[in-house]
Chains A and B, each alone.
Chain A
Amino acid sequence: GAVVSQHPSRVICKSGTSVKIECRSLDFQATTMFWYRQFPKKSLMLMATSNEGSKATYEQGVEKDKFLINHASLTLSTLTVTSAHPEDSSFYICSARGPYSRADTQYFGPGTRLTVL
C-alpha cells in the first residue's frame, strides 16, 4: 500500500523553541495532506487540511500562527510548532490522501511524539 513517512519520530525540546515535523508521501503524490493531534488514549483530532500550493485550512480552535503548515510540494508537508509550550506535548500524526482507489482512504504516517519540557 501507499507509504507515508514522518520525521522525526520523537522530539524533546525546551519551552519556547520551535519544532518542525515533516510528512512525506514516499511512493505517490498527495495533493491533500491532513494533520492530526492525538492525546493519550484519545481519538484523533483534525488540526488542519494541507493543500499543495495553497494555504492550509485550519479547524476551529487551532491557532494558525502557532501551528504553521507548509505544503510546498506534492510529496511533502511540514508542521512547525512555534514557541512550543508543555501543553503542546502530544502525538502528531499526518495523513495523505492516497493514490486513487475506490476506498480513497487516507494513509497515515507513523506519528511524531513531541515532548516540551
Chain B
Amino acid sequence: AQKITQTQPGMFVQEKEAVTLDCTYDTSDPSYGLFWYKQPSSGEMIFLIYQGSYDQQNATEGRYSLNFQKARKSANLVISASQLGDSAMYFCAMREGRNTGNQFYFGTGTSLTVIP
C-alpha cells in the first residue's frame, strides 16, 4: 500500500484565492511526522510545514496551514491568498517512528498553477 497518496496531479487557483492540496497517509506507527515541501521549476525542495502525530493543533506557518484529520489519516495543505510565486510542485511526505534517521516517504506530488 502507498504510504502517502496525493490524488490531485494538477490544480489551478486564482491569484489571492485559497487552495487545498490533498494528502492521505497510511501507517500503523502511532508516532509519525507529516511534512509538506514545495518544488519550483528550479528543482530545489523547500520545506513548508510540519505536523507531528501527537500535535493537538493544526500547524500553521504564515500563509500555509495543515488541516490534520488524524482519524481520516489526512494532512491537507491549505495555502491562503495564493500568489503567482506559489506555482510549483507540492509534495506531501511522512516519517514514521521517532528515529530521526528514518526515511521519508513522498507522495507523487501536485502541480499547482496560480492564475493571475
Contact = CB atoms under 8 A, between A and B. Distances in A.
B101 A105 contact: no
Nearest to B91: A43
24 contacts: A32-B101, A34-B103, A34-B104, A41-B89, A41-B109, A43-B109, A44-B45, A44-B106, A46-B103, A49-B101, A49-B103, A102-B50, A102-B52, A103-B47, A103-B52, A104-B33, A104-B100, A106-B47, A108-B37, A108-B45, A108-B47, A110-B44, A111-B45, A113-B43
A69 interface: no
B58 to A, nearest CB: 14
A44 B91 contact: yes
Interface string A21-50: 000000000011010000001111010010
B35 interface: yes
Interface residues of B, number: 23
A110 B103 contact: no
Contacts of B37: 108
Interface of B: 33, 35, 37, 42-47, 50, 52, 89, 91, 95, 100-101, 103-104, 106-109, 111
A61 interface: no
B106 A110 contact: no
A4 to B, nearest CB: 9
Nearest to A104: B100
Contacts of A31: 101
Nearest to B52: A102
B104 A43 contact: no
Contact of A103 (B33, B43, B103, B108): B33
A86 to B, nearest CB: 20
B35 A111 contact: no
Contacts of B104: 34, 46, 106
B106 A43 contact: yes
Contacts of B50: 102-103, 105
A117 to B, nearest CB: 21
B43 A91 contact: yes
Contacts of A56: none
Contacts of A100: 100
Interface in A29-82: 31-32, 34, 41-44, 46, 49, 51
